[in-house]
Amino acid sequence: MRINRSNSEQPAAPQAPQPAPRREAPQQEPRRHKKEKPKKKPKQEEYDEYEDDEEDEEPKRRFPVGCLIVIILLALVGFGGYKVSQFYAELDGQGTLGTVQTITVPEGSSVASIATQLKDAGVIKYDWLFKQYVKYSGKADAIQYGDFEVQSGMAYNDIIKALSVVTRRPTVNVTIPEGTTAVGVAQIFVDAGLVDDVDTFLGCANGTDGSDFSQYDFWNAIPDNDRLMKCEGYLFPDTYNLYADEDVYYYVDQLYNEFANKTAGLADTIAEKGTSLDDVVKLASFIQEEAGLESEDAKVSACFHNRLESSDPLWAEHKLESNASSYIMRDSENNYLWNSPTAEYFGWPEAGAIPDDVLALYDTYAISGLPAGPISNTGYAAIEAALNPDQEYINEGYYFFVTGHPDTDVAGQYFYAKTADEHYQNCVKAGWAP
C-alpha cells in the first residue's frame, strides 16, 4: 500500500505568516501604555553605565562649603579677638609711656572734642572708645578744663584722673578801649606785665620781627605802602582773658583773630559798595575819633562820605579835613600826628614839628581822599557806620559837624551843617568860637 507523504504524514512546508486582519485600534489604550513602562529600563542602564564610567575615572574633589564657612567664622572671631585685645590693652594702658605733653582743654569742651584732642595728640588711638568709656563709666563730670599733662600709653582711668586735677594757668584780663592807637595798645600790654616793651609788641604786630599772620585774609590785603604802622586799625579793642605766661605772638594773634571774627560777615557788603576793608577801617578810625557816640556814628560817616564823594565843586578835591590827623599842633586837639601816643612814640612833639613826609601821608587838610593808614583801632560800630552812613544826611548834603564844648551847657551835643557859614554858627553855639 503506498503511503502519500503529501498528506498529514509529510510535514507541511512553512508558510509565510498571513497578516492579521486589520482592526481599528482604539484611540486610547491607557492600560497597554502602562504595561510598556518597563521599556524605560534601558535609560537606567545607561545611567548606571555612566556612573560606572565615572567610577573608572579619577574622582574630582570639591572643597566643602561648610568648611569654608567655618574657616571664615574662625578668621572673623580671631580678628575680632585681636581687636578686642587691642581695645583692652588701650583701656588698661600700654605699659610703656610716651613723653609728657601738655594739652589745653577749653572751658565748655565736650567729651567728644576732648577725645578728638587726645587722639590728635597721639595720647589715645580710639577717640570713640574713650568717649564711650567716659560716658558709661559715669566719669564725665570729673573732667575739668585747663592745662593737663598726659602721656601716650596711659590707661583710660589715669587719663581721666589727670584731666580731673585742676592745674589752670594764670590769666590776666586786658581791656583795650575803642579808639586806642597801636602804640597805646602796646603800652597796655607792657603795663599788664605781659610784654617787656612797646617795641617788642609793635615789632611783632607789624611783622617787622619776622612774625607771620598770613593766616588772616585781612593781613594779606593790607596795602604795602608807607603807612606808619601796618597793625594800626586791626588790633581789635575788647576785653580779653589771656594767659600770663605766653609770648608776644600769642597776644597779638588774639587781637587779630578777634578782628577777623568780627569782620568776617562784611565781605559781601564791602564788595557791593565797591570799596576795600582797609579803606573801611581807615574811615572808621576817623568816625571813632570824631563821633565818640555810637548814636552819631552814621551821621558823622555821612558827612565824611559827602566830602569824599560829592560832586559839589566846593568839595572837588575830596579832602577829609579832620582835625584828628592834620598839621594842627595844638594840645587841645586830639591829633594823631601831634599829641597822641603815636606822635610821642616817634618824638614829634619834642622835635617841635610834624615831619613833612608824614604830613604828605596823613594830613587830611592837604591830601585828597583817605590817608595812608588808619589812625586808631576802632570798635565794630564805627566800622559798620563807615559802610552804612546815614542816607538821609547824605541826600540832604551835610558836610560839617561839631560837638559842644565840655565846659558849656551843650557839652556832648552834636550840631550838623550843610555850609561853612552854618558850621561857623554851630561852632559858636557849641562854645568853640567867640
The DSSP string of 279-316 is HHHHHHHHHHHHT-SHHHHHHHHHHHHHHHH---GGGT
The DSSP string of 380-411 is HHHHHHHHS--HHHHHHT--EEEE--TTSTTT
Contact 227, 372 (CB under 8 A): yes
Q: How far is CA 381 from CA 52, 74, 130, 408, in A?
A: 101, 69, 45, 28
User: Minimum mean pLDDT among 91-105, 117-131, 313-327: which range?
Assistant: 91-105
Question: How far is the C-alpha of 248 from the C-alpha of 196, rounded, in Å?
Answer: 9
Contact 193, 205 (CB under 8 A): no
pLDDT tens across 278-304, in order?
Answer: 999 999 999 999 997 999 999 999 999
pTM over 0.85: no
Phi and psi of 145, rounded to 5°?
A: -110, 155
Question: How far is the C-alpha of 69 from the C-alpha of 62, rounded, in Å?
Answer: 14
- Per-residue pLDDT at 125: 87
- Per-residue pLDDT at 80: 54
Mean pLDDT of the chain: 85
- pLDDT-derived band of residue 140, with 50, 70 and 90 as boundaries? confident
- pLDDT-derived band of residue 338, with 50, 70 and 90 as boundaries? very high
Q: How far is CA 80 from CA 33, 66, 70, 84, 93, in A?
A: 66, 21, 15, 6, 19
User: Minimum mean pLDDT among 88-97, 171-180, 291-300, 423-432: which range?
Assistant: 88-97
| 69 pLDDT above the threshold of 90 | no
- pLDDT-derived band of residue 423, with 50, 70 and 90 as boundaries? very high
What SS3 class is residue 181? Answer: coil
pLDDT tens across 81-123, in order?
Answer: 555 666 676 787 777 888 999 888 988 899 999 999 999 999 9
Q: Which is more confidently placed, 351 or 10?
A: 351
| 276 pLDDT above the threshold of 60 | yes
| 27 pLDDT above the threshold of 60 | no
